[in-house]
Amino acid sequence: METIKDIVTDVIRGLKTKKRAQDGPELLLKRILPKKELGHVKFRYLRKGILGISVDSSSWLYQLNLQKPQLLAKLGKKPPTIKDIRFYIGETQ
């Protein structure tokens, strides 16, 4: 029979692992995008290899779409595997 201490330790480890997996794409993009661009984007989701990002204006939407192939190439080198990035105009705060 397991002790309560062992069970709590296992649960905490599981939560930390889940949190790291969820933060993965956001942290990767923070390393790839310059600070100037990070102020204009907000990370929304990662589903089935598609990363959704909100941007605050149409000009940033255009700029980031131009950079999309380079971003995908950089992101493709590291897990989790990201097949596509979709940019949306929306709230970034």
Task: Spell out the domains of the chain, with CATH numbers in brackets.
Answer: 4-89 (3.30.300)
Between CA 11 and CA 58 the distance in angstroms is: 43
Residue 66 has pLDDT above 90, yes or no: yes
pLDDT in tens, 39-58: 889 888 888 888 899 999 99
Between CA 33 and CA 53 the distance in angstroms is: 12
Residue 1 has pLDDT above 70, yes or no: no
Place 60 in a pLDDT band, splitting at 50, 70 and 90. very high
Between CA 26 and CA 3 the distance in angstroms is: 36
Report the chain's mean pLDDT, rounded to a whole number.
80
Residue 59 has pLDDT above 90, yes or no: yes
